[in-house]
Amino acid sequence: MDSHANLISSLRSGDVRALSRAISTVENRAPGWSDLLKALFPYTGHARVIGLTGAPGAGKSTLVDQLARHYRKAKNPHFSRTERARNGAPATSVTSLDNYTVGIIAVDPTSPYTGGAILGDRIRMQEHFSDPGIYIRSMATRGSLGGLARTTADVATVLDAAGRDLIMIETVGVGQDEVDIVRLADVTILILVPGMGDDVQTIKAGIMEIADIFVINKSDRDGAEHVEKEILALQSLAARRDGWTPPVVKTVASEGKGINELGAAIADYESYLKKQNLELRKSSENWQERLVEMLRDAMLEKARAQLSDGNLAKLAAEVAEHRRDPYTLVEEIAGKVVK
């Protein structure tokens, strides 16, 4: 724990290199990663986490970029850090910057933040790199050691502890991983676009259900009304448990159109949660998911420690040869783990 003391104090004072180092430690599950998270946890709970998901090319990165600018300019009372200070955790004083600070996590193999060819036409992202108030991090999407959703959540924890007021997580909405990732956000935004065969019906049902706000980006194209109608039709079928009706916001992210409206929709949802006293409930529900995942990881690790590789192969062979039944075997191993 002691070895992390310097890292943590640098990170807390706004040192971006320390932030990067802490994130790498957590992302790579490098030695001491869990002690680092334990030490950082008391400093968390201040940041707002916004998850943005949608098909590749929908304009997520462009929108994140615009929202980042929006929040860097605005002193948005809904993101007040002191307001979020709970559990007696000290309010962070991270930078000398007056405005709200942003952390971006891109969990998207096609993301331009990762560099490469796509970055070429996105000169404006360069601006951000010179603004210490915006920190951008791409997650390795393959071979993620702790499970993608969990690792992303842990990286968000580091950003939160580093005093970032607003954390945006961009992810392509295709698989269960993505659903799990955006589920961890305080506000979940689903980005749809007109045409492209991107009919609302084809979107993974789980994602439709967890969207707090719908964005129809590329509204400069034909068919935005059609997408809106489809969303409204789906909404009329099922009311949400929390009574919130997700608004539909039309944007042209590439031109910065509709960004203020989106900011307002986010603020509306925030105040709705606050008014209905749903913030803590939502957060508890998120933690329930996370705890189950953390437990599963921890148990599995223990089970693996019990079984050397050779041992597992031997047992598997015994099951394959019907010399053992797998049900009893798993019960036996699980029993040893819990002890």
**Residues forming the site for Mg ion (CB under 5 A):** 60-61, 108, 111
User: Do 308 and 338 form a contact (C-beta atoms < 8 A)?
Assistant: no
62 binds ligand GDP (CB under 6 A): yes
Q: Length of the chain in residues, anyone?
A: 339
Nearer to Mg ion, 111 or 144 (CB): 111
Matching residue, tokens 């615009």: 66
Q: Beta-strand (E) ranges in the chain? A: 48-54, 102-107, 134-138, 166-172, 187-192, 213-216, 248-250
Q: Find residue 54's DSSP bridge partners.
A: 172, 191
Q: Choose the binding region for ligand GDP from 49-57, 233-241, 259-267, 303-311 (rule: CB under 6 A).
A: 49-57
Q: Which does residue 194 touch among ligand GDP, Mg ion, none (CB within 5 to 8 A, set by kind)?
A: none
Gap between the Cα atoms of 10 and 36, Å rounded: 13
Q: Smallest distance from the beta carbon of 95 to ligand GDP, in angstroms?
A: 27
Binding mask 196-235 for ligand GDP (x = CB under 6 A): ---------------------xx-x---------------
Q: Smallest distance from the beta carbon of 190 to ligand GDP, in angstroms?
A: 12
Q: Which does residue 220 touch among ligand GDP, Mg ion, none (CB within 5 to 8 A, set by kind)?
A: ligand GDP
Burial class (CB in 10 A: 0-12, 13-18, 19+), 328: exposed
Which residues contact residue 200 at a Cβ distance below 8 angstroms, ignoring those fewer than 6 apart? 192, 208, 227, 230, 231, 234
Nearer to ligand GDP, 62 or 101 (CB): 62
Binding mask 94-113 for ligand GDP (x = CB under 6 A): ----------------x-x-
Q: Choose the binding region for ligand GDP from 1-9, 52-60, 284-292, 298-306 (rule: CB under 6 A).
A: 52-60
Work out the number of other CB atoms within 10 angstroms of the CB of residue 116: 10
Interacting residues with ligand GDP between 234 and 293 (CB under 6 A): 252-254
Q: Choose the binding region for ligand GDP from 60-68, 95-103, 125-133, 299-307 (rule: CB under 6 A).
A: 60-68
Nearer to ligand GDP, 90 or 109 (CB): 109
Q: Which does residue 152 touch among ligand GDP, Mg ion, none (CB within 5 to 8 A, set by kind)?
A: none
Q: Which does residue 90 touch among Mg ion, ligand GDP, none (CB within 5 to 8 A, set by kind)?
A: none
User: Do 209 and 53 form a contact (C-beta atoms < 8 A)?
Assistant: no
Burial class (CB in 10 A: 0-12, 13-18, 19+), 140: middle
Work out the number of other CB atoms within 10 angstroms of the CB of residue 112: 19
Binding mask 125-144 for ligand GDP (x = CB under 6 A): --------------------
59 binds ligand GDP (CB under 6 A): yes
Nearer to ligand GDP, 11 or 203 (CB): 203
Q: Of the candidates 4, 48, 60, 69, which one interacts with ligand GDP according to CB under 6 A?
A: 60
Tokens linked to 184: 């961890």
* CA-angle at 16, arms to 10 and 19, nearest 5°: 70
φ, ψ of residue 330 in degrees (nearest 5): -65, -40
Q: Choose the binding region for ligand GDP from 57-65, 128-136, 223-231, 314-322 (rule: CB under 6 A).
A: 57-65
Gap between the Cα atoms of 252 and 258, Å rounded: 7
66 binds ligand GDP (CB under 6 A): no
Total interface residues for ligand GDP by CB under 6 A? 16
Which residues contact residue 243 at a Cβ distance below 8 angstroms, ignoring those fewer than 6 apart? 276
Instruction: Give the footprint of ligand GDP on this chain (CB under 6 A).
Output: 54, 56-62, 110, 112, 217-218, 220, 252-254
